[in-house]
Chains A and B, each alone.
Chain A
Amino acid sequence: MPTIEYKGKTFEVDEDGFLVKGLEEWCQEWVEYVKELEGIEELTEDHWKVINVLQDYFKKNGIAPMVRVLSKVTGYPLKKIYELFPSGPGKGACKMAGLPKPTGCV
């Protein structure tokens, strides 16, 4: 597994750049690292709201929320989520939140 060094921290990631150990290794630096990757200029409160909802839901349920649940809880329609995270809720927001890589026939 490749590792990424960023601002003095080391992250173990898979080939798509998702954290292999998930929330265990997740921290502020990871968020900033993904922010650069994603071409997000500035992290706003809206970004953090999505990240927090994802993490809370994952801690409580063991899975990432369905897109409709994410929209309903945050109050952001899918279009807005794409505006915040250009790669979308899976590759963008879940990666930044430290959730496991989405699986299935994606």
Chain B
Amino acid sequence: MSEKTYDPIYDQPYDPTLAEKLYNPKKPMENRITDIGPPKYDQFFPPVIKKNYGKWVSHEILEPGVLKYKSETGDVVYVVRCGTPRLITTDYIREICDIADKYCDGYVRWTTRNNIEFHVTDEETLRALMDDLKGRKHPGGSYKFPIGGTGASVTNIVHTQGWVHCHTPATDASGVVKAVMDDLFEYFGSHRLPAQVRIALACCLNMCGAVHCSDIAILGIHRKPPLVEDDRITGVCEIPLAIAACPLGAIKPATVEIEGKKIKTVRVNEKRCMFCGNCYTMCPAMPLADGEGDGIAILVGGKVSNRISAPKFSKLVIPYLPNEPPRWPSVVKAIRHILEVYEKHARKYERIGDWIERIGWEKWFELTEIPFTEKSIDDYRLAYDTYRTSTHFKFTNHVAVK
């Protein structure tokens, strides 16, 4: 970077021993730097972006994964978008940096769906960059930098921690995402859908990420109530928090006797429990993960944009599919099926939610041949608004006509 930067730290070569030199465990507050925030974004702008900031006139998608922006100054910039697994090593980041050094003067960016974007300013470099990216593969054979994710495609899956790092998941994140994206890979590098399809995954119904507002959502669910570990609950839990964490009021305080000692604990009314796991989030002595009980629910029809129709929440259509590591075949099959029926039937520009609302949910369940279960019928507090208070409906195979 030749231009003057805002933060002096970026002018100096990286010193891996600096933190250790500055930190003295005996005096942790000495030399402490705090509240400096993230570095200012525009010091990492490629020169062409910096020059044309706020002056863009138009863009076009040249081919899947490749965008071209035009500025009022006459400048153009080409952007190549590549998929990433989100969970990556420093070796992989270094490889990205090497590519950026080779073709993009050291500049690169990540998108809000964890794709990578490389910027170049001429077509010759663009072709060289793309050829290079296409040739890079992991030893196992998978592409390191698949190009795609633009336009009416299935782009990267926004996902969570799963069994890699979290303690409340009902399913894995990275594993399911890899299995689904492998199966839908053709949709990542093409524009054959009626509109873009956003897929998201959350490994429990804390719903970190975007499952509640995605075209197709993969959600980890439990099906069994928590176990209460009476012998340690008093020491590790703030019991009123566990009681207040329950959306259905299924938890109440209780006293039990262990080895002659009275102990404060809680009891779960299993008929009221819907296995959300909120109490475990607040209280480590109420675990509920279960190999056979846990699985995945599929929701469809959410979106966040305002285009034509207002943003929508996604809705439950498949209440349960089993966890089948390492490739989750039932989940993969269900998602591909939903996508294919959508591709075949929806009109241009229709997101999955728009399409379903046009044809009606009963027709959608008939088209996809997904069995409708009572689990899809809302029964939580404001449920009434989701029932049909109209005589408008279509006869489908769900209604037995004699």
Contact = CB atoms under 8 A, between A and B. Distances in A.
A67 interface: no
Interface string B42-69: 0000000000000000000000000000
B241 interface: yes
B240 A62 contact: yes
B29 interface: yes
Contacts of A2: none
Interface in A19-38: 19-22, 24, 38
Nearest to B238: A63
A86 B24 CA distance: 14
A100 B27 contact: no
B206 A101 contact: no
B220 to A, nearest CB: 16
B241 A103 contact: yes
A62 B238 contact: yes
A61 B239 CA distance: 9
B233 to A, nearest CB: 10
Interface stretch (B122-130, B280-288, B356-364, B367-375): B280-288
Contact of B29 (A86, A99, A100, A101): A86
A24 B232 CA distance: 12
Interface in B16-37: 25-29
A24 B238 CA distance: 14
Interface residues of A, number: 20
User: Which one of A19, A63, A100 has the highest number of Cβ atoms from chain B below 10 Å of its Cβ?
Assistant: A100
A14 B167 CA distance: 15
Contacts of B238: 58, 62-64, 99-100, 103
B310 interface: no
B282 A39 contact: no
A105 B236 contact: no
A62 B253 CA distance: 11
Contact of B235 (A24, A61, A103, A104): A24
Interface in B264-308: 264, 281-284
Contacts of A104: 241, 281-282
Contacts of A105: 206, 281
Nearest to A103: B282
B144 to A, nearest CB: 33
Contacts of B240: 61-63
Interface of B: 25-29, 206, 232, 234-241, 264, 281-284
18 contacts: A14-B236, A20-B232, A20-B235, A22-B236, A24-B235, A39-B25, A39-B26, A39-B29, A62-B240, A63-B241, A99-B238, A103-B237, A103-B238, A103-B282, A103-B284, A104-B241, A104-B281, A105-B206
Interface of A: 14, 19-22, 24, 38-39, 58, 61-64, 86, 99-101, 103-105
